[in-house]
Copies of this chain bind each other. A is one copy, B any other.
Amino acid sequence: MKNRVPEALLSSPVFLIKRLGMKAKEESHDAYSDAGIHPYHYAILETLAEGERETQGAIADALDYDRGQLVGLLDEMEEAGLVERRRDPEDRRRQVVVTTPAGKKMLIKMRAVAKQLDDDFLAPLTLDQRKQLQKLLLALAVEHVPNCQVTGLALVAE
């Protein structure tokens, strides 16, 4: 039985998560780029949608992005008319980032893309299994992904 991934690797959850993560990243990238944006852009739009007034530092911290990297991402988003940067009058070092109407429209569209992406990726699983998986992944994320304190909402979603 040649040309198969070795059994020893298939029985390692960490290996499987690694490989599935790479595939998920790849498919996300393709799905969002069809709409002309990057998964990072979508994540930023979701972050802005949750809070009221977000500074670049707050966005970077929430998503665990490097601040230098975020500058370029926001440049692209501003270029595309999705967000605007405004100096905070109370502390002129800060930039407050706000979503434009076009950005809000894009967010709605991208939520549908994300939903489709999840559905396609989880296609091999039953509805019940998807809920199980979500619960398990969330428990792992709380431990391993920065800023993942769960409020309970994410658990019952789907």
Please give the residue numbers on chain A whose beta carbons come within 8 Å of chain B beta carbons, in ascending order: 1-25, 27-28, 39, 43, 46-47, 49-51, 58, 61-64, 111, 114, 117-118, 121-125, 129-130, 132-134, 136-151, 153-154, 157-158
A20 contacts B137, CB within 8 Å?
A: yes
Give the distance in Å from the alpha carbon of A20 to the alpha carbon of B140 in the complex: 8
B11 contacts A157, CB within 8 Å?
A: yes
B20 contacts A141, CB within 8 Å?
A: yes
A sample of 23 cross-chain residue pairs with beta-carbon separation below 8 angstroms, ordered by A number, consists of: A3-B58, A6-B43, A6-B47, A7-B50, A8-B114, A9-B46, A10-B138, A10-B154, A11-B134, A11-B157, A12-B118, A13-B118, A14-B28, A14-B114, A14-B118, A15-B114, A19-B144, A19-B145, A20-B137, A21-B24, A23-B144, A121-B144, A132-B132
A148/B13 contact (C-beta < 8 A), A18-B21, A136-B129 known? no
- With a cutoff of 8 Å between Cβ atoms, the chain B residues found around residue A150 in the complex are 10
A18/B28 contact (C-beta < 8 A), A62-B2, A140-B122 known? yes
A147/B5 contact (C-beta < 8 A), A14-B117, A122-B140, A140-B121 known? yes
